[in-house]
Structure formats: C-alpha cells, structure tokens
Amino acid sequence: MTLGRRGRRLVCCEPLHSTLVIGPTQTGKTTGLAVPAILEWDGPVLATSVKTDLLRDTIDARADRGNVQLFDPAGSTGLESASWTPLVSCHTWAGARRTAAWLAEGASASKRGLADGDFWYAAAAKLLAPLLFAAARSKRTMADVVTWVDTQEEFGVRNALAGTHERDAINAFEASTGRDERQRSSIYTTAETVLEAYADPDVLARSRTAGIRADELLSGGRHTLYLSATVREQRRLRPVFVALIESIVEEAYRRSAATGRPLDPPLLVVLDEAANVAPLPDIDVIAATGAGHGVQLLTVLQDLAQAHDRWGRDRADTIVNNHRARVIATGTADERTLQYVNRVLGDTEIRHESSTIGEPGRRSTTVSSSFRPLAPANIVREAAPGSALLLYGSLPPAWIKFRPWFRERSLSRAARPS
C-alpha cells in the first residue's frame, strides 16, 4: 500500500503492514490515502464510510473488478443496500457467543466515566448469546430476538434452546433469567441498547436474509463490501457494523489458518472514521497480526483523544503502537496527539559551541548541550497542508505528501473507468 510521496518518489509500507492515519477533518485522510489505497488494491476490500465520499470515489473502479455490495441498513446513500443478519454466524454455540460479544462491545460506547459499564455489557452479551443461538437454530430472525428482549420472553426461548441440546447455551440462559429482579431488568435494558439499531424498521428489513457472506467476499475475486452510515446513525449502527466486520476478519483468519498461508489475494480493510463507526474491540490484535494472515488494515482516526474515549487509555496506546505505519496529518491541535508525537520522537541533542579569546593568541572553546523535542508541537500543527509526518516502525521520522486521488493522473483514471 502506498502512503504518499517524498519528493517524486513513492513511499510504501511493507506488504500488508497495518497503517494508522490521524488528522483533523479536511486534511486529506480519505481523499489522500484511503481512496488511493482502495483504487490500487488488487484483492477484496472491506471499507467503512460515514460520509459518502469514499464510496462515491471508488465504487466505479471496484465494480469494474468484481462484485460490489453495499451495506447501508438505514438507507443513507439512496443506493440499494444488501442485507445482513448477525444470525448467519450463530448456528454454533461458539459462534453465537462471539457474535453476542461483538454486538455488546460495539455498543459499549465510551470507556471513560462508565466505571461498571463493562459489567453490564458483558452481562448483556451473556444474555444475548443464547437468544441469538436459539433464533438461528429455529430459523427465526433478528425481529424475534428483539421481541424476546423487549418482552423478556422465557418460554419460547427455552423451547427453541431445548431443540439444540446444547447444555452450555441452556445454562447460560438460565443463569441470566435466574438473577435477582433488579439485575435482570438492568441486563435486559442493556441488551435493548445493544439491539437499538433494530428498532428502525428499515434496519430490521435489511436483516431478514444473509445477502452478505464473508465466504463470497473472500472467494478469490476482487470483490468489495462497503458499510455506510451517516453521522446521525453511526452510534446506533455501531454494534451491527462491528459484528459484521469482525465476522469477515474472522473468516479471513480462518482461511489463512486452514491453509497455513496468508489469504491470497489479501483483504484490504479500510476503517474510515474507525472510532465512530467501527471501534473493533480487538483492533490492536488485527493491527499486529493482520499481515501474517493476509489482512491489510488501514485505520483512520481524527485524533488520539477520540481513541482514548472509545477504547480506554491503555488500549488506545497499544492500538497506536501496533500499527506499523503511523501517519500524522498536519493541523492537529489535539493535545494527546501532539504529546504522542513528541514522546515517540523523543528529544534531539543540540550542541552549542562558544569560543572565548583570552590572552593574546589563546582561544578556548566550550561545548554544551541542550535538548529539545525533535517534533515540536507547532511544527506538526503548522506544516504545509497535504503533508504528514510518517512514523514507521523504528525508522527515523519522515515528512511525506498525501496523494489526493483527483490530483494524480493514474488514480483519477482508475476512479473513472470507461
């Protein structure tokens, strides 16, 4: 994947090594890096988009290469949306547990200020797992799961679970329903929040069938799946997006483990506005291990404060550090981002020499050192628009220029295939 230019030369990351782009709005993250990456990718692509820019600028090129599907459950683009249900991966108890955890983690909004938030979301996942499993096995839909949660249904769920003969699922459901009344009701309320997206009839209608399938996306063609939501809907849809993306990444890892080789052709995962639409709970792990499995991750964030809010302080640091390439666009005023840059780059030693002339003909020189940050905050904040600071592995930092797709002839040609 090409990151930008340095002079006339292209700067690329090593094949499949994860990349993180951080920069305030309108600094070229999407047009200068995400769009070019998609236009030049020779393999399947999974991309999120909050504004429709990324979709609009790449869809023709991708349609020229393979099948394109759009998951736009709330109908934000006006284009036809494919359907997807979390129940596709819930036919096994392990699959249902994973899916419930993804949905709950996608919903657990902010890690800041919610001391016992994790407890309630974990408890909601434990309740949802047997519900999803029961629904998948009895050929029901998400509409039934929502009704079960809303009405705190027990009889129907027990019946469906009995048919599965899965002791662990039955026990998990009994454990949730057997809690004392106050806890039980809080857990159901949390589960309602997790499934809030499905309160929208449009979203529900686009969850009846499994039109989107990870195995088809990864079947060897140059297929594309876009996930789209507007800023207004992103919070509600977050759990659904997280579960869908995780299920596809999991399939990629499963295929790679089965063959013992990275997925070929490799999968490009572009998480534009990652903290808002797709805060994957294990994004740090994917950033660190994706290359070995044939998954190229490109994560786009506005600033580190956003990452701290979403994933919590410690995880956010790990997430940033696990991306091999970190591209900091200019103009950022976010204190955390600037501090990070200063911390990573460290200080540079500045040597001062002063000479004094004493007795005739005798000169003495004193050398002293002082230290100042290699990237003082104002340099990163005020560098020319379109440029970005590249921090790559343990290499020295470098300034690069983004390649806006509309300014590079090869990219604009790729964007508009005849």
Residues making contact with Mg ion (CB under 5 A) = 30
Instruction: Please identify, using beta-carbon distances, which residue of 30 and 224 lies nearer to Mg ion.
Output: 30
- 29 belongs to the binding site for ligand ATP (CB under 6 A): yes
Instruction: Please identify, using beta-carbon distances, which residue of 196 and 303 lies nearer to ligand ATP.
Output: 303
- What six digits make up the tokens of 60? 């023709």
Instruction: Please identify, using beta-carbon distances, which residue of 30 and 69 lies nearer to Mg ion.
Output: 30
- 27 belongs to the binding site for ligand ATP (CB under 6 A): yes
Listed in sequence order, the residues at least 6 apart from 45 whose beta carbon sits closer than 8 Å to its beta carbon are 38, 62, 222, 223, 224, 225, 267, 268, 269, 270
Query: What's the min distance (Å) between Cβ of 50 and Mg ion?
Result: 8
The angle subtended at Cα 76 by Cα 53 and Cα 252, nearest 5°, is 70
Q: Which among 7-15, 28-36, 128-136, 335-343 is the span making contact with ligand ATP, rule CB under 6 A?
A: 28-36
Residue of 334, 239, 243, 254 whose CA lies nearest to 294: 254
**CA gap 414, 113 in Å, rounded:** 46
Query: What's the min distance (Å) between Cβ of 115 and ligand ATP?
Result: 31
Amino acid at 31: T
18 contact choice in Mg ion, ligand ATP, none (CB below 5 to 8 Å, kind-dependent): none
Query: What's the min distance (Å) between Cβ of 300 and Mg ion?
Result: 7
Query: What's the min distance (Å) between Cβ of 49 and Mg ion?
Result: 8
Query: Site for ligand ATP (CB under 6 A): which residue of 19, 31, 77, 330?
Result: 31
The angle subtended at Cα 79 by Cα 199 and Cα 403, nearest 5°, is 110
Query: What's the min distance (Å) between Cβ of 27 and ligand ATP?
Result: 4
Residue of 378, 373, 401, 377 whose CA lies nearest to 389: 401
- 25 belongs to the binding site for ligand ATP (CB under 6 A): yes
- 30 belongs to the binding site for ligand ATP (CB under 6 A): yes
CA atoms within 13 A on the CB side of 250: 16
Listed in sequence order, the residues at least 6 apart from 389 whose beta carbon sits closer than 8 Å to its beta carbon are 327, 328, 330, 341, 375, 380, 383, 397, 398, 399, 400
Q: Are strands 19-22 and 325-329 parallel, antiparallel or unpaired?
A: parallel
Instruction: Please identify, using beta-carbon distances, which residue of 31 and 77 lies nearer to ligand ATP.
Output: 31
410 contact choice in ligand ATP, Mg ion, none (CB below 5 to 8 Å, kind-dependent): none
20: exposed, middle or buried (Cβ count in 10 Å: 0-12, 13-18, 19+): buried
- 406 belongs to the binding site for ligand ATP (CB under 6 A): yes
Query: What's the min distance (Å) between Cβ of 29 and Mg ion?
Result: 5
Q: How many residues bind ligand ATP (CB under 6 A)?
A: 12
Instruction: Please identify, using beta-carbon distances, which residue of 18 and 31 lies nearer to ligand ATP.
Output: 31
Residues numbered 50-89 forming contacts with ligand ATP, rule: CB under 6 A: 53
Instruction: Please identify, using beta-carbon distances, which residue of 223 and 323 lies nearer to Mg ion.
Output: 323
Residue of 203, 215, 202, 190 whose CA lies nearest to 106: 190
**CA gap 253, 218 in Å, rounded:** 11
Instruction: Please identify, using beta-carbon distances, which residue of 30 and 247 lies nearer to Mg ion.
Output: 30
- Residues of the shown chain interacting with ligand ATP in the complex, contacts defined by CB under 6 A: 23, 25-32, 53, 302, 406
